[in-house]
Amino acid sequence: MATRKPKEAPLSFVQKVKKITTDDRIPKISGLFCYLLALFLFISFSSYIFTWEADDSFLRPFKWDNLFDSSIQAENWFGKFGALISKSIIYWTFGICSFALIFLLIRIGYRLINGKGSARIWPMFRNVFFTMVLGCTFFELILPDASFAYSGAYGKKIVDWGITYVGKPGTWLLFIFVLLAIAVWFRNAQPELWSLKRFFPEINKNFFSFLNFSSFIDGLKKRMREREQEYYDNIEAEVQQSDISDDAIPVDSLSDNIEEVEEDFNYGKLDTSKEEKKNVSHEVPFEFENIETENNHLSSQIKGDQPIGFEIEENNHNVPSVDTVEPSNEQEPPINMLSADEEDLLKINAELDNIDEPYDPVLELSKYQKPGLDLLDTYEDKMVQVDHSVLNANKDQIVNTLLNYKIEIIKIRATIGPTVTLYEIVPAPGVRISKIKNLEDDIALSLAALGIRIIAPIPGRGTIGIEVPNQNKQIVGLKEVLNSERFQTAQMDLPIAFGKTISNE
């Protein structure tokens, strides 16, 4: 009689979770997710490099309502979520070095899919972390005033701490020391590997020993003389193989007088008097000096308006000859060598020489009509609506940032412009203006704003200005500026319209 199989006891919650986590399908799915996340970060990071200025309007300061507002569109290739993730990682962490996270995700996904486990994931985390920290510090040292956040908030803060305590040269020294220390710690490089003898094994023989060094120079001179002799031998061989006739320079003279051969060979100055007599048909040397003198002589005669008689003989020889005939006493009609265009040009120049009045360039454009302003687009003149809570928040951030560096202010005033808001501050007595001007990056970081400008001092007011970009900027139309009374009544020869001032002028 068959026995019944006993029922298995139900699994507890912990056992169920353990069973699920030990399934080999879970690591593969996790690896695919790492690949997908790496692709998402790569595309969104790359898009953030080109679209960060356009997307910064709804991300500063960030509000969840802006994220779900359908009227606000993001320029990032992954939309608002991609812009938010990119700014949160690049701007507020390690800057452009955050791309190393993509490499880390790819490595983790590869190990999970291939079943290699997570044994070496921690060393990868460590290496990527040190790479991002050193990279963002390096970018902040070489690009301190860049508008784009190459170093991120971490790199900026690290360099600011270093400059505050040890200055910029000391920060560079600390950076180089940390870089070498990490290389020694992880690679355990031996001092023998740093020696120049490893790369130049003959350095002791040919440099530090005077006798060996002098012998090295003697051998070098000997090799140079051998190469020089080989060079002249090659020249003699080439001349012997050429088809120069017997009346040309003999080859035997090359060995007797090397200087004459070198001069003749380099410059091609051959004696052609005998060749003209014997009608050499192989090579015809061109005498550029004679041609130029003949042309100059001919042109001088043309300019002098002298009657010229010339004769061209055509023969069967390879060398064409032009024989000039001396002018006879008989008057021959002059030859007009000028074309019709040249004659017109001479007439125009003669007329211009007779004009005594100054040149007026406007006369040539008397029939030109300037394009009207109706071709330009018209924008509605909407005043910028700035939330007073934002103004107060920016004011508090500026005051607190200055107080962190023990800079007291007496008064602060905000002037709202079309694109920026000017905060005028009056510092307490004894505060140096240069100290406030050096805090431009710190104020921008505290306000989460890019492109602020410090005017220290404002001319004619005796205050210090801090320009902060507005969240909602007013469009300043070119048509509005060109149609203004100030531009229309300008007395300048060439007025140029740049835009509006902070006071909408």
* Element containing residue 311 per DSSP (H, E): strand 310-312
The per-residue pLDDT for 167 is 92
The per-residue pLDDT for 2 is 53
In angstroms, what CA-CA distances link 292 with 56, 92, 196, 338?
70, 74, 61, 20
The per-residue pLDDT for 295 is 44
* Domains, in order of start, for the chain: 13-189 (no CATH), 388-488 (3.30.980.40)
Is the separation of the CB atoms in 154 and 130 below 8 Å?
Answer: no
Sign of CA dihedral 86, 92, 97, 103: negative
Task: Flag whether the pTM goes above 0.75.
Answer: no
In angstroms, what CA-CA distances link 376 with 228, 371, 449, 484, 489?
75, 10, 32, 14, 20
- Specify the amino acid at residue 382: K
Helical H segments across 309-455, by residue range: 340-353, 388-404, 433-437, 440-447
Residue by residue, pLDDT tens for the chain (505 residues) are 456 656 666 666 666 666 666 777 888 898 899 999 999 999 999 999 998 888 877 777 677 777 777 777 888 899 888 998 999 899 989 999 999 999 999 999 988 888 776 667 888 888 899 999 999 999 999 998 888 889 999 999 999 999 999 999 999 999 999 988 888 887 765 655 555 555 555 545 444 455 566 677 777 788 888 888 887 788 777 777 765 544 444 544 444 554 544 444 444 444 444 444 444 444 444 343 443 444 444 344 444 444 444 343 444 444 444 444 454 454 554 545 556 666 767 776 666 666 666 767 777 777 778 788 777 887 776 666 667 777 888 888 888 888 887 888 888 888 888 778 888 888 888 777 777 777 777 777 777 766 778 887 777 777 888 888 877 777 777 888 888 888 888 888 788 888 877 666 7
The per-residue pLDDT for 384 is 61
In angstroms, what CA-CA distances link 5 with 8, 12, 68, 104, 127?
9, 21, 59, 50, 55
Return d(Cα 274, Cα 277) in angstroms, integer. Answer: 5
Return d(Cα 218, Cα 221) in angstroms, integer. Answer: 5
User: Can you tell me whether residue 356 is helix, strand or coil?
Assistant: coil
